[in-house]
């Protein structure tokens, strides 16, 4: 949504759904339409950009933005004559793999080289995560989103690839203890880099207590896109 889109060739009143989306946007609830697409084989980024730009040029709905008019509560929808594609990899990953339980097979099939794995899922995928790494690679288990159940019959002699290092850091268990004081965390440096644009952070979505149902709906639909905060203020 934009209050100042590029030159538009037509303007129309909002539909009921667009009115709701705009009002939620004004309340700080971002609107996103997202999907995940798996592409097999080598990816030519330039060709992908051209294809997506042609798609945007063909369909007006992909060039539609909302323009606010002075003194009017709701904006108009405008169809832009030119809507350049924003294709930014700086805030994402160069390669995305959909976890099907066998990421190591996908890594080998694509000829990818992985030096390190930060595993937030935990024990349920530990064997597969280790298998993604070459000799002198390293895995640090940082979370347990997949549950706390132990790895069945885990044997370092057979399950830990030769030359691969495995470590664990449970911040929730140790931060604030004498061995891991909070003062050792460079919070100010992180804040400074975020403020200076060196770190690109996604702002959390904040909901009031009266919006708990909507927050759950968004979370269960998979559209959260980041942290969600419930405010009792």
What pairs with residue 166 in β-bridges? 139
The whole-chain average pLDDT of the chain stands at 80
The reported pLDDT for the residue numbered 103 is 92
Of 117-121, 127-131, 177-181, 223-227, least confident by mean pLDDT is 223-227
Domain with CATH 3.40.50.720 in the chain: 103-168
What is the rounded average pLDDT of the residues 55-65? 83
The reported pLDDT for the residue numbered 104 is 94
CATH number for region 103-168:
3.40.50.720
**Could you give the angle at the alpha carbon of 173 between the alpha carbons of 172 and 174, nearest 5°?**
105
Task: Give 150's pLDDT tier (boundaries 50, 70, 90).
Answer: very high
Most confident by average pLDDT, 28-37, 54-63, 87-96? 54-63
Which superfamily, per CATH, for 1-91? Chloramphenicol acetyltransferase-like domain (3.30.559.10)
Residue 119 reports pLDDT greater than 70: yes
The reported pLDDT for the residue numbered 5 is 46
Q: Which residue has the higher pLDDT, 172 or 127?
A: 127
The DSSP code sequence of the chain is --SS-S-EEEEEPPPHHHHHHHHHHHTT------------S---HHHHHHHHHHHHHH-GGGGEEEE--TT-SS-EEEEES--------TTS-S-----SS-HHHHHHHHT----EEEESS-GGGHHHHHHTPPTT-EEEE---TT-SPPPTT--HHHHS-TT-EEEE--HHHHTTBTTB-GGGS-HHHHHHHHHTTSS--PPPEEEEGGGHHHHHHHHHHT---S-EEEE--
Domain with CATH 3.30.559.10 in the chain: 1-91
Relative to beta strand 116-119, strand 138-141 is parallel
The reported pLDDT for the residue numbered 7 is 45
Of 28-32, 158-162, 176-180, 197-201, least confident by mean pLDDT is 28-32
């Amino acid at each position: 949504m934009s209050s100042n889109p590029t030159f538009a060739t037509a303007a129309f009143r909002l539909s009921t759904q667009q009115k709701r989306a705009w009002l939620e946007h004004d309340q700080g609830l971002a609107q996103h339409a997202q999907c995940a697409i798996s592409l097999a084989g080598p990816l030519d980024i330039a060709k992908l950009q051209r294809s997506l730009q042609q798609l945007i040029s063909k369909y007006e709905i992909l060039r539609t933005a909302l323009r606010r008019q002075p003194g009017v509560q709701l904006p108009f929808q405008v169809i832009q004559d030119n809507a350049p594609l924003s294709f930014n990899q700086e805030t994402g990953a160069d390669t995305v793999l959909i976890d099907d339980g066998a990421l190591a097979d996908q890594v080998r099939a694509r000829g990818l080289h992985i030096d390190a794995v930060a595993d937030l899922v935990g024990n349920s995928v530990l064997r597969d995560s280790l298998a993604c790494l070459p000799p002198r690679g390293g895995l640090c288990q940082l979370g347990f989103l997949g549950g706390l159940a132990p790895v069945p019959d885990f044997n370092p002699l057979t399950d830990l690839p030769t030359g691969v290092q495995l470590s664990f850091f449970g911040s929730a268990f140790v931060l604030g203890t004498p061995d891991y004081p909070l003062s050792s965390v460079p919070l100010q440096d992180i804040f400074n880099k975020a403020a200076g644009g060196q770190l690109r952070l996604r702002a959390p979505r904040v909901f009031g207590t009266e919006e708990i149902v909507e927050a759950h709906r968004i979370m269960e639909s998979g559209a959260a896109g980041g942290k969600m905060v419930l405010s009792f203020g």
